[in-house]
């Protein structure tokens, strides 16, 4: 009888202990070969105490948005403009920064284009469409020099890989592409004219405002606050490892989908330049100013009709 009591108590203790150490599962949707994959692979090499990742690879950014909104995943990487637009309709999605690298304008090494004003009369390839944020902000920057970029360049819109192919085949004179596609061109000798940070600085935004971040439901995060915040801290540590340890970087090189060392090196450089050093009130106020710019530049098409960035758009890790 004493043995049975002891055995029952032991089982109860084991069961309670297992319950106490149960980890929160974070289902995260990412694009295969995307830079988020680099961080998550590094993070998974370091066992975490209170969360575990369930990674779902998705075809593209739109597939990620659909997966998040349908509840198929808990988290994706997207932009805060989209989050604010959704919050204006009553949803409770929120955003925590991942990277402040967005895109770049690149030209062939021997190109006569050396500044934004030199784009006049040229063929410009633009990743995405008319509402691409880099394109809208580049137009605003050109406008400061009395150049109507929309009217003075021949625009070629397309998917990022297509834009890269277009410039390689000399079908366009310059390419405005997402940062990792621009980095691949730079590794092949193409020259950067300006990047997303430079465009914002030219528009008077001195703060480094993240362009991309983790997006998730605020109500879900409130229910798993410690695990979610620890995931963000672990993600930042993983990024630091990738940028400071050659051994850690070597492990994820297969995920870069780049076979040559110059491309791998340039991808690492541009990726590390996107690290979030400061994220607080100044950066969030700057984001509100960018929102107002984009609302005007897109005639509400990008932001929706809300006059201001929605409260709660940004998640606080405190």
Q: Is the dihedral of CA 183, 298, 84, 209 positive or negative?
A: positive
Tell me: the pLDDT tens digits for 101-145? 889 999 999 999 999 999 999 999 999 889 999 999 999 999 999
- Strands, sheet with 75-78, edge to edge from the N-terminal-most edge strand: 51-58, 24-31, 75-78, 212-217, 93-99
In a domain, 88, yes or no: yes
The interaxial angle of helices 225-244 and 261-273, nearest 10 deg, is 130
Return phi, psi of residue 203, to 5°.
Answer: -95, 5
How many other C-beta atoms are found inside a 10 Å radius of the C-beta of residue 288?
13
Query: How far does Cα 147 stand from its chain's mean position?
Result: 30
Q: Are residues 235 and 94 in the same domain?
A: yes
In a domain, 63, yes or no: yes
In a domain, 238, yes or no: yes
> Domain span at residue 253?
15-100+210-269+278-297
Q: Are residues 125 and 89 in the same domain?
A: no
In a domain, 7, yes or no: no
First-to-last CA distance in the chain? 51
- Residues in a beta bridge with 316: none
Is there a contact between 105 and 176 (Cβ–Cβ < 8 Å)?
Answer: yes
- The H or E element containing residue 105 is strand 103-107
Q: Are residues 74 and 62 in the same domain?
A: yes
Q: How many domains does the chain have?
A: 2
Of the candidates 98, 96, 318, the residue with the CA atom closest to the CA atom of residue 225: 318
Per-residue confidence in pLDDT tens, the chain, 318 aa: 444 544 444 444 444 444 445 889 999 999 877 889 999 999 887 777 789 999 999 988 899 999 999 999 999 999 999 999 999 999 999 999 999 988 999 999 999 999 999 999 999 999 988 999 999 999 999 999 999 999 999 999 999 999 999 999 999 999 999 999 999 999 999 999 999 999 999 999 999 999 899 999 999 999 999 999 999 999 999 999 999 999 999 999 999 999 999 999 999 999 999 999 899 999 999 999 999 999 999 999 999 989 999 999 999 886
């Amino acid at each position: 009888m004493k043995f049975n009591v002891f055995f029952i108590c032991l089982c109860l203790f084991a069961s309670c202990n297992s319950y106490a150490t149960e980890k929160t599962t974070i289902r995260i949707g990412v694009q295969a070969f995307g830079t988020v994959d680099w961080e998550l692979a590094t993070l998974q090499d370091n066992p975490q105490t209170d969360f575990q990742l369930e990674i779902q690879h998705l075809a593209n950014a739109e597939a990620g948005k659909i997966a998040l909104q349908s509840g198929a995943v808990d988290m994706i990487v997207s932009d805060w403009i989209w989050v604010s637009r959704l919050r204006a309709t009553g949803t409770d999605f929120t955003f925590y920064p991942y990277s402040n690298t967005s895109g770049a304008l690149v030209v062939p090494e021997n190109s006569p284009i050396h500044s934004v004003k030199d784009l006049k009369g040229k063929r410009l390839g633009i990743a995405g469409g008319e509402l691409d944020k880099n394109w809208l902000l580049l137009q605003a920057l050109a406008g400061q020099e009395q150049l109507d970029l929309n009217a003075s360049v021949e625009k070629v819109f397309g998917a990022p890989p297509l834009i890269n192919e277009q410039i390689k085949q000399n079908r366009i004179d310059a390419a405005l592409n997402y940062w990792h596609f621009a980095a691949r061109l730079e590794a092949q000798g193409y020259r950067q004219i300006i990047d997303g940070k430079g465009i914002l600085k030219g528009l008077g935004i001195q703060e480094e405002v993240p362009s991309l971040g983790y997006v998730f439901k605020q109500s879900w995060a409130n229910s798993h606050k410690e695990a979610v915040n620890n995931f963000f801290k672990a993600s930042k540590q993983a990024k630091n490892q990738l940028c400071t340890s050659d051994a850690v970087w070597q492990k994820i090189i297969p995920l870069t989908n780049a076979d040559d060392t110059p491309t791998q090196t340039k991808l690492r450089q541009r990726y590390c330049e996107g690290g979030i050093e400061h994220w607080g009130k100044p950066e969030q106020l700057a984001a509100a100013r960018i929102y107002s710019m984009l609302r005007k530049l897109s005639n509400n098409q990008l932001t929706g009709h809300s006059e201001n960035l929605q409260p709660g758009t940004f998640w606080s890790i405190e």
